Structures are given as structure tokens and as C-alpha cells.
Amino acid sequence: MTLVLCVMYFVVLAVLSAYGLHRFHLVMLVRRNRERIAAVAPPRDADGQPLAPLPDDELPMVTIQLPIFNESTVVERLIETVSEMDYPRDKLHIQVLDDSTDETRRIAADKVAELRDRGYLADYVHRVDRTGYKAGALDNGLDTAKGDLIGIFDADFLPRPDFARALVEHFRDPKVGMVQARWAHLNRDASLLTKVQALMLDGHHMVENRARYGAGLLFNFSGTGGMWRRQAIADAGGWQHDTLTEDLDLSYRAQLAGWTFIYRPDVVSPAELPEDISALRAQQYRWAKGTVQTARKL
């Protein structure tokens, strides 16, 4: 019994040591490549000179996809917040992709109708068949999306007004397939649980993503709070439904197909963290299982 406990102890110690060394390596990558990371904004030309912002009449059409499922308490807030983006109204297409089975359908449809009455380009798309879940909804939405650039937000996000205008500038480079903004946390201080989650996610966004981008390594779209070039999605084979982390799956397929990803830590997309342990457990299980599925697929 003592031998078994000793073996278990040293296995855990080895795993934690390896994890710590990996994190230290990421921190050193951030330090080593801090100039490249800092130079991400504003976008630059081939000679390294900052590009002047695009005038409104040259901005591309952007579709913001909002995949939702039974989010009655936050969906109206989400749609209204997206409508307040600092972007020409005739070039911002808001697409609500609703797979809901409860009163969310009525709330979302009414809000979209209100936006249309106010002169916005907004569509409400409801599916009865939830094939592919979120990936299926995003894929289905592309059939009627008006933009060549596709922003995506989950229901618990509240994007800031500068999101679209800041990210579209990078797509002037025809090799850029996706730009990811940094997550922030609306309820960071709500409890010890949310504080721990915020610390973990900040480590991912402020250390790992910055390190990978700065070193020119692969990194992934975080599932929300980012913008895709529609052609990059198509070239990578589109949204596929065979993993629980469709964002991770598509990210690696797109980068392996030759598309470049950009990380913008200065563009912030706040969101609410799960406040109860059951929701957090379900989320972490989904992420862990989906990561393994994606690794096997690749």
C-alpha cells in the first residue's frame, strides 16, 4: 500500500512539475516576443508602417452570429448590446440563431423585429432540428449571412462597441483567417468560484494566447468573442459536428490549411462566468472531452 501511495505521489508531482515548466515556458515566450505582441495594433503594411483606419465607406460587411439556446434572461441584453457597436448600420448584419424550446423564441424574435423597425439589418433564424447543436446552428446561419466577415458571440457576452471596427482592420491582409479578442469577466468578484475561473481564463488569454501568437505558434478561436473570414471557414471544411469543441477543431483545420490567426489582447469582450458548481462542471467536462476528441481527429 505504501508503495502504491508513493508511486501515485510521484506521478502527481511529475504532472504538476511538467505543467509548471510549461507555464514558465509560456511566460518566457511572452517576454521574448513582447515587441511583436505589442505591435499587433494598429495593423501594419508590408513595410511595418501603421495603416490608417478604413473610412466608413470602405468598411466590409460584417455578420454577427448569436447562437442561443434557452437563454431567456440574457438574450434581449445580448442583441441590444450588439446593435450598439460602433459600425455603420448598413454594414452590420445581426443574425440570431435560435435553437430554443422555451420563451426565448418569443423574446428574441420580438427584439429582432424591433431592431428591423429601427433600421438595422437583423434576422431571426429558428431551428426545430438541433442537428450539430452550436456548430450546426453556425453552419446553418452561413447560408443566409450577408457578411464576408463573421463575428460570433455566446449569449453570456456583452461585446464592447469597438469590437467590429478594431478587428476588421486585420482582414486587409488576405492571409488572415481569424482574429480573437480577449475575454473579460462581468462577475469576477461574485464568489470564490468565479474568482478562480477568472484567474484560470486570464492565464489562458493573457499568457497562453499571447505567448502562442507572439511566437508564431498555433492557437485557437475561443468559441466566442472573435471574428472569422468566411472563406477561411469554407477552406477548412466548415463547421463540423463530430466534436464537443467545434471551435478548437475548426481552428486547427484552418491554420493547417494555411490561414493566419491574430490575437488582440487590447480588444475586450466581457462575459458572465458560471456561478454554480454544476454549470462549471458541465462546461469543464465539455471542454476536456472536446479537446481529446479534436486531438484524436487531428
The verdict on whether 247 is a catalytic residue reads: yes
List, in sequence order, every residue forming a beta bridge with 178; answer none if it has no partner.
228, 261
Residue ranges in the chain assigned as alpha helix (H): 2-32, 34-38, 75-83, 104-117, 133-142, 163-168, 192-202, 209-214, 230-235, 246-256, 277-297
Residue of 98, 154, 156, 247 marked active site: 247
State whether residue 289 is helix, strand or coil.
helix
Say if CB 63 and CB 151 are below 8 A apart.
Answer: yes
Amino acid at residue number 13: L
List, in sequence order, every residue forming a beta bridge with 227; answer none if it has no partner.
151, 179
Residues 6+ apart with CB under 8 A from 64: 82, 85, 92, 93, 94, 95, 150, 151, 152, 153, 164
Residue of 99, 154, 156, 249 marked active site: 99
Say if CB 86 and CB 161 are below 8 A apart.
Answer: yes
Q: CA 141, 144, 149: angle at the middle one, nearest 5?
A: 75
State whether residue 24 is helix, strand or coil.
helix
Active site residues: 99, 247
